[in-house]
A = this chain, B = another copy of it.
Amino acid sequence: METIGKSYDLIAMGRSSIDLYSNDIGAPFEEITAFAAYVGGCPTNISVGTRRLGLRPALLTAVGDDQVGNFILHFLRREGVETQFIPRKLGRRSSAVVLGIEPPDRFPLTYYRDNCADIELTIDDVLATPLADCHVLLISGTGLSKEPSRSATLFAAELARQGGATVVLDIDYRPDQWNDQRAFGVTLRSALRLVDIVIGTEDEINAAMLTDTTQISIAHSQISDARVRGDTDAAIQQLLTLGPRVLVQKLGATGSRVHIVSEPGEGETRRIDVPGFPVEVQNILGAGDAFAAGFIYGVVNGWDWYKAARMGNACGAILVTKHGCANFMPTYDELMTFIQDHGGF
């Protein structure tokens, strides 16, 4: 990775939203009386998370010419995430998410992403962003769900790699954003040639290798947390033949597991198990993005895989105890204290 003189540690590309999270913890969705207003979206969360840890991130998303767009931009600027590459898309709507919170395991969710602004990111928007001037480009699976964002995301990955950046893909599997779940898999597989590091849960890894829709089940409108059956070990092996050299498997409370290609072209991989931190769950949404923020912090700083993933685990652990996503990302000091209090790296 050519890092000397790069202006941004991270460019995160993809969706953003106003996240409206139930203030009536435990109430069924129909009984909710108020929602807290946060900012969210996988790449947005990751950009804020890395900023709070001290990195220099830019976000390439898009918002509409509406109040919600103002809300999102206002938050990002206050956080110090670079917003100058974010276009306003006239006639398109800033995304929104409405979420019920019934711990430990029901988080029903409705996306407002029809005609949304961030899926309108174009190759021209990509060309207006300094992709050769970052250490890491973070893209996400949802960014590949529809045109023109799909082509723009692939184009961004090409440019970033040409510029020497590391391309990280968060699988970010959201079934309701895809007309055919098998299209998710085949699209993702075709994108992997441009990816160095993949991050996903077991369900997401299975979804990425999916060929049969009967593998999927979604309970309680939890579109952000579909169950996808499959031979996960085979899926991991297959995925690592398609381009990436590292696959980070998020394991929830257990921690994470890093799969690394030993010899490119030879098909051999090794794995590192990285333990998690025990905490009480309030809201799982955003925990995976917090993990990614911590892990990318390690990647940018040249840490070994174990330490980077352990940093990610700590970030995720803190976030599950919180109400929202981006607004609750831990700072560097908060994170270091947490890790020390839990036995260190």
Contacts and interface: CB of A to CB of B under 8 A. Distances in A.
Contact of A30 (B74, B189, B265): B74
A66 interface: yes
Interface in A49-78: 66-68, 70-71, 74-75
B187 A151 contact: yes
A23 interface: yes
A68 B110 contact: yes
Interface in A145-182: 146-148, 151, 154-155, 158, 179-180, 182
Contact of A186 (B29, B154, B183): B154
Interface residues of A, number: 55
A320 to B, nearest CB: 21
A219 interface: no
Interface stretch (A93-101, A224-232, A328-336): A93-101
Interface in A18-61: 18, 20, 23, 29-37
Nearest to A21: B34
A36 B34 contact: yes
B96 A112 contact: yes
Contact of A98 (B68, B155, B182, B187): B68
A191 interface: yes
Nearest to A78: B30
A155 B179 contact: no
Contacts of A265: 265
Given A18-B98, A193-B242, A186 B70 contact: no
A80 interface: no
A112 B66 CA distance: 11
Interface in A210-234: 211, 221
Contact of A123 (B33, B71, B183, B194): B183
A147 B93 contact: no
Contacts of A112: 93, 96, 112
Given A32-B37, A112-B112, A151-B186, A221 B100 contact: no
B114 A93 contact: yes
A301 B75 CA distance: 52
Interface string A234-258: 0000000010000000000000000
Given A67-B108, A110-B93, A33 B36 contact: yes
A189 B35 CA distance: 40
A148 to B, nearest CB: 6
Interface in A305-339: none
Contacts of A194: 190
Interface of A: 18, 20, 23, 29-37, 66-68, 70-71, 74-75, 93-94, 96, 98, 100, 108-110, 112, 114-116, 122-123, 146-148, 151, 154-155, 158, 179-180, 182-183, 186-187, 189-191, 193-194, 211, 221, 242, 265
14 contacts: A20-B20, A34-B34, A34-B35, A34-B36, A34-B37, A112-B112, A114-B115, A146-B147, A147-B147, A147-B179, A147-B183, A155-B183, A190-B191, A193-B193
